[in-house]
């Protein structure tokens, strides 16, 4: 539930994403020592090794796009992408 809230997606979407990341070896589910019913999602070594590459690529792409769009349009793009994510979530509640 916490992960879904932080990612701003439904619990079903978060579960599906974690399932795929776990299958690929990037995360693992471990028991929550504070709550026997809960599971924590933890990054694996494989994921940690990839983080600098992913962050660098993310920054490179954002700089490139902002150079073309400018700061105002880049903000608008981020807002539009957030809205699109909300309406394309396959598990979202129907309005």
Same domain, 86 and 51: yes
Q: What is the pLDDT of residue 87?
A: 84
Q: pLDDT at position 48, please?
A: 97
Does 25 lie in the same domain as 54?
Answer: no
Question: Cβ distance 21 to 43 under 8 Å?
Answer: no
Q: What gap in Å lies between CA 57 and CA 53, rounded to an integer? A: 6
Q: Is residue 95 part of a domain?
A: no
Binned average pLDDT, 10 residues per bin, the chain of 95 residues? 82 93 97 91 97 96 97 97 83 62
| Full residue range of the structural domain in which residue 18 is found | 1-43
9: nearest Cα among 84, 79, 85, 78: 85
Give the single-character DSSP code of 90. T
The answer to whether the CB of 65 falls within 8 A of the CB of 73 is no
The number of distinct structural domains making up the chain is 2
| Nearest C-alpha neighbor of 32 from the set 24, 40, 22 | 40
């Amino acid at each position: 539930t916490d992960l879904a809230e932080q990612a701003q997606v439904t619990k079903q979407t978060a579960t599906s994403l974690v399932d795929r990341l776990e299958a690929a070896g990037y995360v693992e589910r471990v028991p929550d020592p504070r709550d026997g019913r809960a599971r924590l999602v933890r990054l694996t070594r494989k994921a940690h090794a990839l983080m600098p590459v992913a962050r660098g690529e993310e920054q490179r792409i954002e700089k490139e796009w902002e150079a073309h769009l400018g700061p105002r349009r880049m903000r608008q793009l981020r807002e539009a992408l957030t809205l699109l994510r909300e309406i394309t979530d396959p598990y979202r509640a129907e309005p």
